[in-house]
Amino acid sequence: MRITRGYQDWPAGSVLVEFGRTRVLCAATVQEGVPRWRTGSGLGWVTAEYAMLPSSTNTRSARESVKGRIGGRTHEISRLIGRSLRACIDMAALGENTITIDCDVIQADGGTRTAAITGAYVALADAVTWLGAAGRLSDPKPLSCSVAAVSVGVVDGRVRLDLPYEEDSRAEVDMNVVATDHGTLVEVQGTGEGATFTRSTMDKMIDFALAGCARLAELQAEALAAPYPGELPGSAA
């Protein structure tokens, strides 16, 4: 897995995350104010939007904006990313600011939603740094943990981590796991593909996934240990 921060100039946080041949661009945009239903609460908001570029797979897919409707899968993944990120941030510390994370799949080879979550956290962390430099945080450290995600499946009777499309398409069991760097679970999505699976298999898959997420958390921390990749508010000469 590779994380490139500062991939774009304009967002407060911008990350290109690469899981093998899967590449996702995650951009965190900061806006003053919150949705109408949250106005006056003193709480911030974090949300996400997910999309796949038409050429991200081997067969071109039409843009959903051209179709005039957002597909169910896109809605589901967007909401998953948003939920995952909100698990790690104190909305009161964020103040009445909104951070929107746009996750655009440049190239897909399985695990796009888990790659998006892992990259989106790093983009979120950079956006929080930007807000802190701008003096717009109620608390200087609103992030309570980091969040990462990985796919895990049973292929040919064996548990495997971070499945590429070729393995994912023939997995007997498919699971996505979102976890914090504290080792706690944010979300688990698991499905038997045409067959059932045992509790012991599920436990083994979650153990594999938690180990994978722990390693991803280390890589996120290494990436974030470098200085903020752009110009912070108030830093211009």
3-class secondary structure, 103: strand
Q: Is 21 annotated as a binding residue?
A: no
Which residues are bridge partners to 103 per DSSP?
26, 50
Q: Is 112 annotated as a binding residue?
A: yes
The DSSP string of 164-229 is -HHHHTT-SEEEEEEEETTS-EEEEEEEESSS---HHHHHHHHHHHHHHHHHHHHHHHHHHTSPPS
Measured distance CA(110)–CA(215) in Å, rounded: 19
Measured distance CA(106)–CA(57) in Å, rounded: 9
> 237 CB contacts (<8 Å, ≥6 apart)?
none
Q: Is 113 annotated as a binding residue?
A: yes
Measured distance CA(235)–CA(3) in Å, rounded: 25
Instruction: Kindly state the tokens that stand for 189.
Output: 């999505």
Measured distance CA(87)–CA(109) in Å, rounded: 27
Phi, psi of 236 (to 5 degrees): -70, 145
Binding-site residue set: 73, 111-113
Binding-site residue set for phosphate: 73, 111-113
